[in-house]
Structure 1
Amino acid sequence: MQDVPVVMVHVEGLPERGHGRWATPLTAAARAYGAIPPPALVLLGIVSVQVGAAVAKQLFATAGAAGTVTLRLVLAAAVLLLIWRPSLRVDARTWLVVAGYGLVLGAMNLTFYQAIKHIPLGAAVTIEFLGPLAVAVLGSRRWLDGAWALLAAAGVLLLTRVDGGLALPGVLFALCAAACWAGYILMAAALGSRTSDGGGLALAMVFGAVLALPFGVAEAGTALLDPAVLVVGGAVALLSSVVPYSLELEALRRIPPRVFGILMSLEPAVAALAGLVVLHEALHPAQWAAVFCVVLASVGATRTARPEG
């Protein structure tokens, strides 16, 4: 169980093979990825995700947090539907899994973007990372896993109490995003067991977009149709979805899941750096120490997890 979260953290995107006119560019991309070492692919994917989140935050003044999420999910759904052209002939149980996955995905993005509206990006990702970490240690009776969980909790507690602490709404939204991330991991495993290609993901993304759409329209209104907003929203969709998911899928073909998970554990630190560079969100030294505690706990929980089977 411990390896599941780190495998499913972001893997929800591009297919291994294209269809029709997409086959040639996707094949060429796959060959290009093959020349890049797998750890570099993972790190590039992490950087892309967090830079995408930083760019998205800059769009809040025009489209709002919910409007930005809506653009990201709607555009991602459109791309995936175009690539996969999924069949609607699936059984009722599969539809339930697809809908559940999509709704959790939409809720995770809505709550996370609301979190970074109130608190720095690095702090939000650090708190959100409690979700996959909780799934990693859930049900374990080993004292070492309990120690990693306590270290992560201490890091988050330190993060929220330094220099007056963080805005409470942001912390609460980040905790909600963490819970959604944990649910997303479990639903992703269920989706993977019931679908064999990206068609299920494409349909699930539609459900996520439909969930976000009312919130986005209510907050942003006609701003969602502004050409400049659409361009930035497209950039967010590429940076936060298309690019990182394709890089991570290629990396997972060539490295063990546990190694992938250790690399993914660097995400809170990369988020803090992206917030500093792109948004000029500086963390205090004690907050950097808190981020390090969560990163160390995630690396430790992944590194010392018992092999499955």
Structure 2
Amino acid sequence: MSASVERNWRAGRISPEALFAVGAVSQYLGAATAFELFDEMGPSTVALLRVAGAGAVLVVLRRSWRRHWSRIELAWTAAFGAALASMNLFFYLAIERVPLGNSVAIEFIGPIAVAAFGTRTLRSGWALALAIAGVVVLAGFAPPEAQLGALFSLIAGTLWAGYIILGHRVARSGMAVDGLGVGMLIGAVVISPAGFRGLDAGVGAPLLLAGGVAAGVLSNVIPYGIDQLVMQRLERARFALLQALLPVTATLIGLAWLSQVPSLREVAGIAAVIAAIVINRESDPTPRDVIP
């Protein structure tokens, strides 16, 4: 973030919603970039490069080693990083098998569940039920390989819920972007057993390694760094609802970049999730601190 943009952000002239939209586009451009590398290195290795590369970039830029880290800060950061890295891993395993927009819609169960528990209203409960119905439409009638991808998306969605909860803890404790960078390096260690196998393909191909790091910058450094800023100004339930708009972004980028044209059934499933977003947005309560 440039100095002028940061000044405008601090002064309140840039809304959290607008900044989040920039991060959303960057995130799924990074996912599309990563998808192009799967044939060469496999999704697990690309996920490892994404997390490790992004973490290293942030730690170097922020000089995070100069910060004093208490044990409790390191514990929260490690939990956050493990959730984030594992979410990335299962998301890549999912989009290897199902279209980008479908995967994001399915994993949205995690954020909308956080929002439902945060609002605790009948309306939010109906929204969660509608989102589940959308997932059933997307996954229940798909071929076996796509059903496996849907399962990976559901696991990623569960980890996404953990990312939201732990991310707010890290953001509001003052660790913010430092916590993000160090957390990703710790997370890279957590998922390294799954990703080491494919690194041989990238050793003799610097462009592949650079592509993996580029995916990390687009998908982790920019959007997750923005998340840490946005989380400082939005409570957890509202942030979860804002993230719910991501299936639309992912579907459009999958269509434009990867030529993934959704079927009518897939459109119906994604539309059900979007309808759940609208219902939940209408039931969002007065802002309050919902950090556990």
Would you say same fold, with TM above 0.5? yes
Aligned pair 1:230/2:206, yes or no?
Answer: no
Give the C-alpha shift of residue 308 in structure 1: 4.1
Which of 25, 49, 52 in structure 2 is aligned with 1:71?
49
Aligned pair 1:113/2:92, yes or no?
Answer: yes
The answer to whether the 8 A contact 2:247-2:270 is kept is yes
Aligned pair 1:54/2:43, yes or no?
Answer: no
C-alpha spacing 1:39/1:179, structure 2 compared with 1 (3 Å): closer
Give the C-alpha shift of residue 156 in structure 1: 0.8
The residue number in structure 2 matching 1:264 is 243
For 1:145-224, list aligned pairs within 5 A: 145-162=124-141, 164=143, 167-224=146-203
The answer to whether the 8 A contact 1:60-1:68 is kept is yes
Q: Secondary structure at the match of 2:110?
A: helix
C-alpha spacing 1:261/1:299, structure 2 compared with 1 (3 Å): farther
For 1:13-32, list aligned pairs within 5 A: 26-30=2-6
The residue number in structure 1 matching 2:280 is 301
Equivalent position amino acid for 1:71 in 2: L
The residue number in structure 2 matching 1:240 is 219
Distance in structure 2 (CA, Å) of the matches to 1:107 and 1:206:
12
CA offset digits 1:134-168 (Å, max 9, x no partner)? 11112765321211111111111111134657622
Equivalent position amino acid for 2:255 in 1: L
Q: Secondary structure at the match of 1:195?
A: coil
Equivalent position amino acid for 1:184 in 2: Y
Provide structure 1 residue ranges, at least 5 long, that are not aligned to the other structure: 1-13, 15-25
C-alpha spacing 1:37/1:301, structure 2 compared with 1 (3 Å): closer
Provide structure 2 residue ranges, at least 5 long, that are not aligned to the other structure: none
**How many equivalent pairs are there?**
285
Identical residues among aligned pairs (%): 34
The answer to whether the 8 A contact 1:102-1:204 is kept is yes
Give the C-alpha shift of residue 43 in structure 1: 2.6
Residue range with higher mean Cα deviation, 244-253 or 161-170? 244-253
The residue number in structure 2 matching 1:136 is 115
The answer to whether the 8 A contact 2:121-2:283 is kept is no
C-alpha spacing 1:114/1:195, structure 2 compared with 1 (3 Å): same
The residue number in structure 2 matching 1:96 is 75
The answer to whether the 8 A contact 1:76-1:237 is kept is yes
The residue number in structure 1 matching 2:21 is 43
Q: Which has the higher contact order (CA 8 A, sep 6+)?
A: 1
Distance in structure 1 (CA, Å) of the matches to 2:120 and 2:222:
38
Give the C-alpha shift of residue 89 in structure 1: 3.9
The answer to whether the 8 A contact 2:55-2:184 is kept is yes
Distance in structure 2 (CA, Å) of the matches to 1:29 and 1:209:
30
Q: Secondary structure at the match of 2:284?
A: coil
Q: Secondary structure at the match of 1:106?
A: helix
The residue number in structure 1 matching 2:60 is 82
The answer to whether the 8 A contact 2:167-2:228 is kept is no
Cα root mean square deviation, aligned: 2.9
